[in-house]
Amino acid sequence: MKITGLTVYQVDLPLEHPYWLSGGRLKFECLDATLVKLETDAGITGWGEGTPWGHTYVPAHGPGIRAGIETMARFVLGLDPRCVLEVERAMDTALPGHLYAKSPIDMACWDIAGQAAGLPIADLMGAASRTPRPIASSVGAKTVEETREVIARYRARGYIAHSVKSGGDVARDIARIRDVEALRAPGDIMLYDVNRGWTRQQALRVMRAVEDLQVIVEQPCETLDDIAAIAPRHATPVSVDETLVTLQDATRIARDGLAEVFGIKLNRVGGLTKAARMRDVALAHGIDMFVMATGGSVLADAEALHLAATIPDAHCHAVWACQDMLTVDIAGGRGPRNIKGHLHLPEAPGLGVHPDEDALGAPVAAYR
């Protein structure tokens, strides 16, 4: 089987409500999605998506994906999409770095490989748990009272996992964590996500003040060096998100004991092929995981769900459904959808969901 065509679509995915990053530093109103259709000489078509979380959150940005694909396309055409490692190496040869530009092509190859094998991607990857994965809420409230109200609304919809955005004010962050923990229900999965919002001294003040609660704090500081510098001076468990980009990041974090949890975001780390290695590093070092789309439609959520299904249940805390934050649906209600705060693995071969091509507009590029 050979890749014979690569077609690129750009789609705006407006957010239902403007999204403020932890601490109110960055505001997003629309996501810039790139959809990739891979065609083969076997008549099987695969789809991939790359949707960064805005242009200013991490180095990944929408136009960069499309520019990267333009550079990589001729290295990928003619390859067998089922040989995902060969496609990965071709992309890495054509364009060092820029992992986020590679994820849509990698995802479309896995989609084709799954369809060719007659298996959902997670089964093809070797282990697919059918346990529904809890969807983490995104609680971006300002005050302690608002935080309570937002979590209560999510709970009423069946959510048991919550990502409580923190950062901005040390005293309020400590009060917020203590208040949410006081109301924690059995089985709740709580994450306090700072999105790099604290300086080292702010992180130390909060993480020391809540040590008795043993909550998980995600991405407290800007860099891995920051996280490493404060690690010996507090006893609060850490999750890494934005600073987990490469396999080398993963091995450093594991070896140096910089985090107890990985937040693996598929677009940022370069797709399923590269993310699967991070999963294995995590499992080999007793590190638990959250697996999420960086952003995007039900396609991106489905990709993350497939990887999450390959993680033993006890080590996979939650996934995410970015689709619930959007005002458009490019797949007409198909694919894994939010059922009482959980996502269920699709049983169809491959990714398990394709977009309505008519809903994507005219392609912005096509390579043959």
The region of 14-22, 54-62, 171-179, 210-218 touching Mg ion under the rule CB under 5 A is: 210-218
87/217 with CB nearer Mg ion:
217
Residue nearest to Mg ion (CB): 241
Q: How far is the CB of 242 from Mg ion (least distance, A)?
A: 7
Q: How far is the CB of 191 from Mg ion (least distance, A)?
A: 8
Give the number of other CB atoms < 10 A from CB of residue 220.
Answer: 29
Closest CA to 36 of 8, 12, 5, 67: 8
* DSSP state letters, 280-297: HHHHHTT-EEEEE-SS-S
193/288 with CB nearer Mg ion:
193
Q: Is residue 165 annotated as part of the catalytic site, yes or no?
A: yes
Q: How far is the CB of 291 from Mg ion (least distance, A)?
A: 12
210/217 with CB nearer Mg ion:
217
Give the number of other CB atoms < 10 A from CB of residue 196.
Answer: 24
d(CA 217, CA 152): 21
d(CA 230, CA 353): 43
The region of 51-59, 98-106, 193-201, 268-276 touching Mg ion under the rule CB under 5 A is: 193-201
d(CA 111, CA 267): 15
Residues 366, 342: contact at Cβ < 8 Å? no
Q: Is residue 47 helix, strand or coil?
A: strand
The region of 91-99, 151-159, 166-174, 233-241 touching Mg ion under the rule CB under 5 A is: 233-241
Q: How far is the CB of 331 from Mg ion (least distance, A)?
A: 25
Measure CA 357 to chain center: 24
d(CA 131, CA 27): 34
90/216 with CB nearer Mg ion:
216
Positions in 11-40 near Mg ion (CB under 5 A):
none
71/223 with CB nearer Mg ion:
223
32/241 with CB nearer Mg ion:
241
Positions in 62-121 near Mg ion (CB under 5 A):
none
Q: Does 241 bind Mg ion (CB under 5 A)?
A: yes
Q: How far is the CB of 193 from Mg ion (least distance, A)?
A: 4
Q: Is residue 142 annotated as part of the catalytic site, yes or no?
A: no
Number of residues that bind Mg ion (CB under 5 A): 3
* Catalytic residue from among 37, 102, 265, 274: 265
* DSSP state letters, 232-265: GG----EEE-TT--SHHHHHHHHHHT--SEEEEE
Largest CA distance in the chain: 61
110/290 with CB nearer Mg ion:
290
* Catalytic residue from among 2, 165, 274, 340: 165
Q: How far is the CB of 219 from Mg ion (least distance, A)?
A: 6
The counts of H helices and E strands in the chain are 12, 14
The region of 117-125, 180-188, 189-197, 340-348 touching Mg ion under the rule CB under 5 A is: 189-197
> β-pairing, 45-50 with 27-40?
antiparallel
The region of 12-20, 102-110, 237-245, 275-283 touching Mg ion under the rule CB under 5 A is: 237-245
Name the CA dihedral angle for 72, 77, 82, 86, rounded to a multiple of 10 degrees: -50
Residues 91, 75: contact at Cβ < 8 Å? yes
Q: How far is the CB of 334 from Mg ion (least distance, A)?
A: 28
Residues that bind Mg ion (CB under 5 A): 193, 218, 241
The catalytic site residues sit at: 165, 265
